[in-house]
Amino acid sequence: MTEGGFRVLVVCTGNICRSPIAEQLLRARTSEGGVAFSSAGTGATPGAAMPGEAAELSRAYGGEPDGHVARRITRALIDESDLVLTAAREHRGAVVELSPRASRHTFTILQFARLLASVDPVDLAAAGTPAEVVAAAAARRGYARPGEDDIPDPYRRSFAEYQVAAALIDDAVAQIATALDRRG
């Protein structure tokens, strides 16, 4: 674990829709001062702001979208994170290509939630730190039934598509936040 507590990096393409929503919802649902959350995009335009739909949905689900600016992912950002959550598999691949070692703690958001759900509750209860939670989830890869891993990109699409993406994020984040928060 890096200095200063457990760090989670959320990654999507533009760092204006999916990853900021997930970051903000995670932050809103975990106790303050515990796990640190940030986000970045594989193809982000640095400085870009969240589209109105994304900000609105984030707020609707309890997030705090104000002040978010997009930034581009770097190897340093990955290396200082203890858990990398991505919107889709393409981002997971991109992260691992940038920093191969990250493969052990890089998941898509939906994948991580699914893995957590498949962890034996006893094992989950025994995990004392977020790092142990991640390890327990990682060990379930290949065991857990495969499912949909990707959150579709709503950018420049209808509001309905934003809603679909936000609902997916909301579901997964609820699970992830619960698992991480207790140890944060």
Partner 1 sequence: MELRDYLRIVRKGWILITAIALVAIGAAAAYSFLKTPEYSASAKVFVSVQSSETVSDLAQGNTLIINKVKTYAELVSTPAVLQPVIDDLAIEATVTDVAKQITATAPLDTTLIQIDATSTDPALAADLANSAAQNLSAAVAAVEAPAVGDGASPVRITQVTDALVPTSPESPNIPLNLALGALIGLALGLGVAVLRETLDTRIRGEHDVQSVTDAPIVGGIPFDTKAEERPLIVQDDPRSIRAESFRSLRTNFQFLGGGSSRRTFVFTSAVQGEGKTTTVANLAIALADAGRRVVVIDADLRRPRLADMLGLEGAAGLTDLLIGRAEFDDLVQPWGRGNLDVLPAGRIPPNPSELLGSTAMVDLIARLEQRYEYVLFDAAPLLPVTDAAVLATHVSGTVIVVAAGRTRKAQLRATIAALENVEVKPVGLVLSMLPTKGPDAYSYGYGYGDIADPAENPAWEPLADTVVPRPAEPSSGDAAGPRRSTAVAEAPAPSSPPAPVAKATVAASAAPSEEAAPAGESPAASTEAPPARSSARTSPARKSPAGSAPRSGAPAGTRRVTAKPSPSAADEAAVARPVKPAPRKRPIAPKSAVPEPLDEDYPTPTLFDGDEPDGAAAAKPAARPTLVALRSRRGARPSGSASRENSR
Binding site for partner 1 (CB under 8 A): 89, 92-97, 100-101, 103-104, 106, 138-139, 141-144, 146
Smallest gap, in angstroms, from Cβ of residue 42 to partner 1? Answer: 12
User: Is residue 18 annotated as part of the catalytic site, yes or no?
Assistant: yes
For the chain, the distance separating the N- and C-terminal CA atoms, rounded to the nearest angstrom, is 12
Question: Is 17 marked active-site?
Answer: no
CA dist 164 and 180 (Å) reads 24
Q: How far is the CB of 166 from partner 1 (least distance, A)?
A: 25
Smallest gap from Cβ 170 to partner 1, in A, equals 24
Buried b / exposed e over 54-66, threshold 16 CB at 10 Å, is bbebbeebebebe
The catalytically annotated residue of 7, 17, 18, 29 is: 18
Q: Which is nearer to partner 1, 48 or 96 (CB)?
A: 96
Cβ-based nearer residue to partner 1, 83 or 94 = 94
* C-alpha to C-alpha distances, 146 to 112, 115, 142, 143, 150, nearest whole angstrom: 11, 10, 8, 9, 12
Question: How many residues belong to the chain?
Answer: 184
Whether 120 is a known active-site residue: answer yes
Name the residues annotated as catalytic: 12, 18, 120
